[in-house]
Amino acid sequence: TAPAPGELLEIALVVAREAADTARVMRVEGVSGVTTKSTRTDVVTAADRAVERQVLAALREARPQDTVLGEEYGDSGGPDRSAVPGAVRWIVDPIDGTVNYLYGLPQYAVSLAAEVDGVVVAGVVRNAATGDEWTATRGGGAYRAGRRLRCSTETDLGQALVATGFGYDSARRVHQARVLAQLIPQIRDIRRFGAAALDLCLAAEGAVDAYYEKGLAAWDLAAGGLIAAEAGLRVAGLAGAAAGPDLVIAAPPTLFEPLHDLLAGLDASGGP
């Protein structure tokens, strides 16, 4: 039988806190082992790898039967068990906001989520620089420091502060910049903080009204997406599709439709 979401969240919290400590301490000691991945601006550091290895080891110890999907090491924990009822898969981004980490900007996070039968049921995002921490369990609400989170109640898209992010591929960035150029005159303003998981948490607490981005990976979205949804945001893609790599829109019910329609009209999910 599947473990309760609260039980998985307890494990996630312990693991994410230790992982965030490692990331912070390694930053103080100095960023090392910087290499690039998909493009020359898509960086990875020794800390990304070390933190993910630590998370993998901690999860293996706590729940040896589970599988894990991570940004740096892909799938681990044995063969795919997604068809096994009650199987748990963890999804980890060891450092979301790696460029901020590189520059010492205090906006990088450990993101850890637990999926049961392919549905995210528990998630934690911890800002490793500040110690701020957001959590959620499916159906149990989203919290920060014991306070239940509620998203913005803004009703006017023209007054909305909207967060977004950009991929690392230059052709994709050209498309994303075109979308943004059309969007920005129609909203209050845009914010680009540099860590998708934190963007979703900021939307969860109403620090921004909404968030959208094309090109997110599962590890960027899993924990933050649940936190945002549990705070009342609608988290989805275009035309009834689930949120995913094509597009993630996280918006309060009052803003979802106008933002969705605008982004659809601008072909925000299209391009490279």
Name the site residues for ligand IPD (rule: CB under 6 A).
71, 93, 96-98, 165-167, 194-196, 213, 215-216, 220
Distances (CA, A) of 20 to 28, 52, 224, 251, 268: 12, 10, 16, 28, 33
CB of 163 to ligand IPD, least distance (A): 9
CB of 184 to ligand IPD, least distance (A): 17
100 or 254: whose CB is closer to ligand IPD? 100
Asked if 130 contacts 104 with a C-beta cutoff of 8 angstroms, the reply is no
167 or 206: whose CB is closer to ligand IPD? 167
The span from the CA of 43 to the CA of 71, in Å, is: 12
CB of 242 to ligand IPD, least distance (A): 18
Asked if 90 contacts 113 with a C-beta cutoff of 8 angstroms, the reply is yes
DSSP, res 207: S
CB of 173 to ligand IPD, least distance (A): 10
Asked if 262 contacts 217 with a C-beta cutoff of 8 angstroms, the reply is no
107 or 137: whose CB is closer to ligand IPD? 107
The span from the CA of 211 to the CA of 228, in Å, is: 10
Side-chain-side CA neighbours of 96 within 13 Å: the count stands at 33
CB of 192 to ligand IPD, least distance (A): 8
CB of 164 to ligand IPD, least distance (A): 8
Asked if 45 contacts 94 with a C-beta cutoff of 8 angstroms, the reply is no
DSSP-derived secondary structure for 102-124: HHT-S--EEEEEEEETTEEEEEE
Is 104 exposed, middle or buried, given 0-12, 13-18 or 19+ CB atoms closer than 10 A?
exposed
165 or 252: whose CB is closer to ligand IPD? 165
167 or 232: whose CB is closer to ligand IPD? 167
CB of 121 to ligand IPD, least distance (A): 22
91 or 195: whose CB is closer to ligand IPD? 195
DSSP, res 167: -
114 or 221: whose CB is closer to ligand IPD? 221
* Consecutive H or E run containing 19: helix 5-29
Q: Which position's Cβ is nearest ligand IPD?
A: 165
